[in-house]
Amino acid sequence: MTAIPPPGGKKLGLVIDLDTCVGCHACAVNCKEWNTSGHSAPLPDFDAYQANPQGVWFNRVHSYEAGEGADSRTVYFPRSCLHCEEPACVTVCPTGASYKRAEDGIVLVNPDTCIGCKLCSWACPYGAREFDEDAGVMKKCTLCIDRIYNTNIPEEDRVPACVSTCPAQARHFGDLGDPASAVSRLVAERGGYDLMPELGYKPVNKYLPPRERPRHREPAEPAIESVANPFLRWIDRALSR
Amino acid sequence: MHPALSVILFTTASGAGYGVLFWLGLLAPLGLLPVAAGFGVTASLLGLALVTVGLMSSMLHLGHPERAWRGVSQWRTSWLSREAVAALIAYVPAVLFPLLWLLGGTAGPLGFVAAAMAAVTVVCTGMIYASLKPIRQWHNPYVLPIYLLAALFSGGACLAGVATFWHAGPLLADASVVAAALTLAAKLAYWRSIDRGAGDRGTGDRGTGDAGAGRRGAGARTPADATGLGKLGTVRSLDPPNTEENYLLREMGYRIARKHAARLRVIAVLLGFIAPIVLLAFIPPIAAIAALLGLLVERWLFFAEATHTITLYYGRTA
């Protein structure tokens, strides 16, 4: 059923730290690696070894320049399914193939009943759904349900592939429905925010904004290097900062 | 949005077909159409053929057409599913009404049911688009009225085209002219509405944190809006995640040059509205063909001019 289940206690999701993300794309690559043989396998590639390779990815890392001049900064921005509380991608589905799980809030696609009408990808404002042209069905991030509940792998590995691989620890996984969870506390401390909240999809995943940093100031008068006395030179340099 | 031919053909043909069935079901019981059996058969077949061609065309759009039957199950939440259900139900009175009419029974009430179901199905089609919030050119109050009016107009023109061969009175042609004028007025208002505050399409980031001027309450229009990074200042795309195109950009990142859009708007208005309004009084069949061709251009533009919020992440404006 494409009706959204009544809100449960558990809201599994990701918290992505835009302050520490270094834009290495390891999360996207490890996601592709795991999921091409995971729950929604395979993630097809077309012309993989030609001039114009294309394929299905669940996670894509954008990079932006924000701000002006010396105050501008580079922000890396991983984008994947936000497992919304009000996912229109689910309610628009005519067959019930697209669904939100009541027990943990994960949004999934049943590849056996998807008719490939692509309407869900139109309804998602975040571009989280990509059409598998080989299989004729829609694919999307599963929050690695085949890892997080997998009792065959060590407990510390039971997190989404993107989280386990992040070298900067910019990605955090947990229950955002529990205000006492580590991820919820992180969101509260760092002012985690929703993407395009005005659309009303209520994303579960949160983004932590880049930290404030002092504005760039033009240096004062340059230090006078011709002062012979090293002590006075040091004083001059210190005062010139 | 990518203007897929199958979907454009679907909404144009099925819209006209439901328009034919609407006018037929409404006017025939009132005795306002030719009573000849030949007219009834031709008109019904034309309406059913347009609807069926449209629906078959929409199936071509699917990744798994053989599973299309599953689409009737989620009518509680999905406008696409509602449309499928309504389209199937609409066939029953649309087929039974002309049969009963030809056999000389009291078909009147069934005609009104056929007209009502035709209208309901077009409402569902319009709502598929009007309910999609990420696409501001579709999530617009003019979209649903335009779908309904265009069906009334093109269906009326088609039926008037058929009715000429049975020496019908001017009623249908006159009604179609009124519907054409109303559709045109709504379409012009729609274009004014979507152009309001639009920056130069596809030329990069126009906005900063204070880009609110000219886009009051319009939702996300810039990369700053989409990423929530507007507090840092202007947000410009530095590198996209992928060097080549991908599904998202092919399906939702279609771009049309502004000068082409302006020209196509003129073509749609002249061919789809002005020509039929002039021709309906003289040669309705030609007017109907012009209306359908013009509406194909109008539908193509409806897709090509629509911008999806995903493109904001790729540094574009909407």
| Cα B233 to Cα A210: distance, rounded to the nearest angstrom | 12
String of DSSP letters for B80-118: HHHHHHHHHHHHHHHHHHHHHHHTTS--HHHHHHHHHHH
**Angle formed by the axes of helices B143-164 and B5-27, nearest 10°:** 60
Dist. CA B130–CA B142, nearest whole Å: 9
Contacts of A55 in chain B (CB under 8 A): 246
- Is A5 in CB contact (< 8 Å) with chain B? no
Q: What is the pLDDT of residue A225?
A: 64
Mean pLDDT of the region B96-122:
89
Tens-digit pLDDT profile for residues B291-304: 999 999 999 999 99
For this complex, say whether ipTM is above 0.95.
no
| Residue B63 to residue A136, Cβ atoms within 8 A | yes
- Taking CA–CA distances from A54, the nearest residue in chain B reads B246
Can you give the pLDDT at residue B198?
Answer: 60
What is the helix (H) or strand (E) element at residue B227, kind and residue range? helix B223-227
Residues B126-144 have pLDDT tens digits of: 999 999 999 999 999 999 9
pLDDT at B318: 86
Q: For B297-306, b where at least 16 C-beta lie within 10 A, e where not — what string?
A: bbbbbbbbbb
How would you write the pLDDT of chain A (241 residues) with one tens digit per residue? 677 887 778 999 999 999 999 999 999 999 999 999 999 999 999 999 999 999 999 999 999 999 998 889 999 999 999 999 999 999 999 999 999 999 999 999 999 999 999 999 999 999 999 999 999 999 999 999 999 999 999 999 999 999 999 999 999 999 999 999 999 999 999 999 999 999 999 999 999 999 988 887 877 666 666 778 888 888 887 887 7
The beta-carbon neighbor of A94 closest among B65, B71, B314 is: B71
pTM of the predicted protein model? 0.90
**Over pLDDT 90: what percentage of chain B?**
80
Contact B313 A79 (CB under 8 A): yes
From B1's Cα to the closest Cα of chain A, the distance in A is: 9
> CA torsion angle for A42, A48, A53, A59 (degrees, to 10)?
40
Contact B225 A125 (CB under 8 A): no
Cα distance between residue A105 and residue A4, in whole Å: 9
Mean per-residue pLDDT of chain B? 91
Contact between residue B46 and residue A58 where contact means Cβ atoms under 8 Å apart: no
Is residue B71 less than 8 Å (CB to CB) from chain A? yes
Residue B201, pLDDT above cutoff 60: no
pLDDT digits (tens, 9 = 90+) for B20-77: 999 999 999 888 988 888 999 999 999 999 999 999 999 988 999 999 999 999 999 9
Band (B169; pLDDT cuts 50, 70, 90): confident
B180-193 residue pLDDT tens: 999 999 999 999 99
Q: Nearest CA to CA, how far is B79 from chain A (Å)? A: 7
Read off the pLDDT of residues B224-247 as tens digits, 9 standing for 90 and up.
999 999 999 999 999 999 989 999
Judge whether residue B209 has pLDDT over 80. Answer: no
Task: Return d(Cα B306, Cα A238) in angstroms, integer.
Answer: 58
B226:A195 CB<8 A: yes
Do B67 and A79 count as a contact with CB atoms less than 8 A apart?
Answer: no
* pLDDT at B210 exceeding the cut of 60: no
Beta-carbon separation of A127 and B310 below 8 A: yes
Under an 8 A CB cutoff, do A114 and B231 touch? no
Q: What is the pLDDT, as a whole number, of residue B258?
A: 82
Q: Find which of B132, B143, B232 to mutate to test the A interface (most A CBs within 10 Å of its CB).
A: B232
Task: Give the pLDDT of residue A181.
Answer: 97
A45-46 and A171-175 strand pairing: unpaired
* Contacting residues for A230 by C-beta, under 8 A, at least 6 apart: none
